[in-house]
């Protein structure tokens, strides 16, 4: 296999999680007894450009199907994040009714609805029918396509280049990251701005976030590697911000290579921090497999101890990261009886691989589990606040990453 960015031959395995089904391929009852496809879930690191990437097996069309079940608006904290971004970027770029905004991977309209409310013309690009339909219902125009260079050039030829192109948690999801980035350049007006948010590889390594590895994530990015990808496409990164979302993300601000805006001090500062932590040396990536296995063993020890003590364990959040954790650990409904999720699109279905049933959060008060394992640990405070009623019967919360921890 060759690197998706620089075509260097890949030799170094960063993480091997065995075989797993696509993390968002939730099952209905009729499919429980049918064969379930599993793909290898292995990451390589390129020792030339330092792009961490999944092994080539699954196609985007297989992972982002028409019934894709992830709806961004389910999380109140994510909605607040999107609203805050809108206010910030409107002021920063002086966006108004004569501006044009494109969001790539616009999902259910969680972000663009803020621009619609402000009267700023916008367009969502979203290949999954389920989420695109939800966005259209609230008045957001959507192109139901995968984004790349061809679509970027088409938009440009139609006079629809954007003052702002936003992409939240999509850059890691594209199989051809060079083609996608060339599409950004084609669809961007002269003087326009690109903002992309994605989990920071540096934080993934620092906080043992191996559960953020799944087939839908083709790439795991540092600022260093993202800068190289942008430069090859004729773009530049002129600013970067650290974010707390998804356990530690970055938001990069991009522009055309000839753009006159100065490079913010945050860019060289973060590049220096990445270099200090070894992200441009192989030894910065060694040992991560061992840490993932240790977390797996700690979680299994905890669940088996509760089983022997006749304590019941449920989970909260049918998130993709939870499916990675459960399938890597070999956990099924024998150790975790059910998982609750607020998304109606997931309720009544079963987790891929583990086949744990997904129920409404209202079931917690009925079944009264002794423990609730929060799978999307990045929103643990939000979950604990929403479900604080479990304390009334002595229930407790626990997370497995970055380490097994009982929460109070």
Q: What is the pLDDT of residue 408?
A: 76
Q: Does residue 293 lie in a domain region?
A: yes
Looking at 222, 242, 261, the residue that finishes a domain is 261
The reply to whether 240 and 110 lie within a common domain is yes
The reply to whether 215 and 123 lie within a common domain is yes
The reply to whether 380 and 328 lie within a common domain is yes
Q: What share of the chain is helix, strand, coil (3-state, %, to 5)?
A: 40, 25, 40
Structure tokens, 403: 């380490």
The reply to whether 240 and 293 lie within a common domain is no
Question: What's the order of all strands across the beta sheet hosting 235-243?
Answer: 142-143, 122-125, 101-104, 162-168, 188-199, 249-256, 235-243
The reply to whether 214 and 329 lie within a common domain is no
Looking at 261, 278, 311, the residue that finishes a domain is 261
Q: What is the pLDDT of residue 261?
A: 96
Q: CA neighbours within 13 Å on the CB side: how many for 103?
A: 28
Distance in angstroms (rounded) separating the CA atoms of residues 55 and 220: 12
Q: What is the pLDDT of residue 70?
A: 62
pTM score over 0.75: yes
- Is the Cα dihedral 376, 379, 381, 387 positive or negative? negative
Q: Does residue 35 lie in a domain region?
A: no
Q: Does residue 182 lie in a domain region?
A: yes
* DSSP secondary structure, 332-396, as one string: -TTT---EE-S-TTTTT-B-TTT--BEE-TTHHHHH--SEEEES-GGGHHHHHHHTGGGGGGT-E
The reply to whether 250 and 309 lie within a common domain is no
The reply to whether 95 and 176 lie within a common domain is yes
Whether cis (ω within 30° of 0) applies to the bond prior to 26 is no
Q: Does residue 53 lie in a domain region?
A: no
Q: What is the pLDDT of residue 166?
A: 98
Nearest Cα neighbor of 144 from 158, 161, 124 is 124
Q: What is the pLDDT of residue 76?
A: 84
Residue 196, domain CATH: 3.40.50.150
Tell the residue number behind the tokens 């690009």, with chain if given.
125
The reply to whether 299 and 193 lie within a common domain is no
Distance in angstroms (rounded) separating the CA atoms of residues 101 and 396: 44
Q: What is the pLDDT of residue 265?
A: 98
Residue 309, domain CATH: 3.40.50.720
393 φ, ψ (degrees, to nearest 5): -110, 15
The reply to whether 138 and 255 lie within a common domain is yes
The reply to whether 139 and 88 lie within a common domain is yes
102 φ, ψ (degrees, to nearest 5): -115, 135
Q: Are 147 and 125 in contact (CB under 8 A)?
A: yes
The reply to whether 236 and 343 lie within a common domain is no
Q: Does residue 8 lie in a domain region?
A: no
Q: What is the pLDDT of residue 57?
A: 62
Q: Does residue 361 lie in a domain region?
A: yes
Distance in angstroms (rounded) separating the CA atoms of residues 333 and 313: 10
Q: Does residue 10 lie in a domain region?
A: no
Looking at 215, 246, 261, the residue that finishes a domain is 261
Query: Total domain count for the chain?
Result: 2
Q: Does residue 13 lie in a domain region?
A: no
How does pLDDT run along the chain (408 residues), one tens digit per residue? Answer: 999 999 999 999 999 999 999 988 899 999 998 999 999 999 999 999 999 999 876 554 554 444 445 677 778 888 999 999 999 999 999 999 999 999 999 999 999 999 999 999 999 999 999 899 999 999 999 999 999 999 999 999 999 999 999 999 999 999 999 999 999 999 999 999 999 999 999 999 999 999 999 988 999 999 999 999 999 999 999 999 999 988 899 999 999 999 999 999 999 999 999 999 999 999 999 899 999 999 999 999 999 999 999 999 999 999 899 999 999 999 999 999 999 999 898 999 999 999 999 999 999 999 999 999 999 999 999 999 999 999 999 999 999 999 999 997
| Domain span holding position 293 | 288-407
The reply to whether 241 and 313 lie within a common domain is no
């Amino acid at each position: 296999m060759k690197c998706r960015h620089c075509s260097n031959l890949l030799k170094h395995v960063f993480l091997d999680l065995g075989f797993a089904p696509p993390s968002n391929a939730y099952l209905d009852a009729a499919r429980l007894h049918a064969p379930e496809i599993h793909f290898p879930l292995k990451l390589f690191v390129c020792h030339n450009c330092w792009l961490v990437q999944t092994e080539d097996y699954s196609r985007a069309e297989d992972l982002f199907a028409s019934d894709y079940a992830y709806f961004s608006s389910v999380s109140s904290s994510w909605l607040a994040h999107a609203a805050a971004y809108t206010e910030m970027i409107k002021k920063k770029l002086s966006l108004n009714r004569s501006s044009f905004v494109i969001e790539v991977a616009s999902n259910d309209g969680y972000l663009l609805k803020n621009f619609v409310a402000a009267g700023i013309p916008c367009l969502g690009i979203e290949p999954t029918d389920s989420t695109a339909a939800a966005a259209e219902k609230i008045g957001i125009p959507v192109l139901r396509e995968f984004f790349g260079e061809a679509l970027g050039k088409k938009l440009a030829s139609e006079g629809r280049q954007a003052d702002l192109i936003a992409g939240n948690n999509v850059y890691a999801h594209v199989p051809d990251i060079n083609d996608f980035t060339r599409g950004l350049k084609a669809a961007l007006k002269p003087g326009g701005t690109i903002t992309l948010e994605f989990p920071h590889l540096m934080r993934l390594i620092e906080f043992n976030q191996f559960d953020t590895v799944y087939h839908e994530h083709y790439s795991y990015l540092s600022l260093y590697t993202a800068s190289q990808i942008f430069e090859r496409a004729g773009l530049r990164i002129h600013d970067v911000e650290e974010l707390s979302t998804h356990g530690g993300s970055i938001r990069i601000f991009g522009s055309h290579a000839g753009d006159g805006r100065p490079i913010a001090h945050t860019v060289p500062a973060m590049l220096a921090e990445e270099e200090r932590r070894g992200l441009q040396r192989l030894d910065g990536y060694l040992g991560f497999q061992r840490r993932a296995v240790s977390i797996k063993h700690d979680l299994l020890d905890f669940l088996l101890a509760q089983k022997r003590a006749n304590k019941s364990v449920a989970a909260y959040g049918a998130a993709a990261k939870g499916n990675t954790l459960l399938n890597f650990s070999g956990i099924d409904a024998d150790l975790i009886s059910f998982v609750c999720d607020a998304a109606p699109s997931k309720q009544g279905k079963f987790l891929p691989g583990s086949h744990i049933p997904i129920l409404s959060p209202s079931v917690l008060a009925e079944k009264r589990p002794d423990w609730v394992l929060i799978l999307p640990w990045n929103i643990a405070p939000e979950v604990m606040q929403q479900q604080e009623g479990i304390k009334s019967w002595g229930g407790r919360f626990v997370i497995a990453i970055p380490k097994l921890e009982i929460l109070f």
